[in-house]
Amino acid sequence: MVRIARCHDGKALCGRIVGIMLDSGARMPVDWQGRPQCGFELIRPSVRRNGELWRGRIVNPRNGNRYHAQFRVDRAGQLALRGYIGLPIFGETRHWMRYDGQVPDSCRIDQTQIAAAGRNGGRARE
């Protein structure tokens, strides 16, 4: 789960990992430098281009590889994020579902919370 919000400068957007779906007793995954992935800044400062399109960088927490990124909210209300090397045509788009439920401080997400969010149009029910 990634929280996308204004960066410290108040203009660009950044995204941090705030939730990871883990089995009971599983250890928190670590990034390529051995630090917990919880709190990792996945989306680096992104600025608005062409109306509703944002451009910046995305980092793979497993290996540290950095990619260009562009994202926007699509007609279905999902975040369409395209990561690429060089030109957007050489990339891949992923659609991220909105989640309005509670995010625990531990970063551990219960799979039933995600399932409930999917049944309720991305908005988890308590």
**Each residue's pLDDT tens digit, 90-106:** 999 999 988 888 888 88
Per-residue three-class SS string for the chain:
CEEEEECCCCCCEEEEECCEECCCCCCCCECCCCCECCCCEEEEEEEEECCCEEEEEEECCCCCCEEEEEEEECCCCCEEEEEECCCHHHEEEEEECCCCCCCCCCCEECHHHHHHHHHCCCCCCC
- Tell me whether residue 79 is in a domain: yes
pLDDT for 24: 80
How many domains does the chain divide into? 1
Q: Which domain CATH number covers 11?
A: 2.40.128
Is a pLDDT exceeding 70 seen at residue 110? yes
pLDDT tens string 4-63: 999 988 889 999 999 999 888 889 999 999 999 999 999 998 998 878 899 999 999 999
- Tell me whether residue 58 is in a domain: yes
> Is this structure's pTM higher than 0.85?
no
For residue 21, give its domain range: 2-119
- Tell me whether residue 126 is in a domain: no
What percent of the chain clears pLDDT 70, i.e. is strictly above it? 88
- Comparing 125 with 28, the larger pLDDT belongs to 28
- Tell me whether residue 63 is in a domain: yes
- Tell me whether residue 56 is in a domain: yes
pLDDT tens string 65-91: 999 999 998 888 899 999 999 999 999
- Tell me whether residue 19 is in a domain: yes
pLDDT for 115: 62
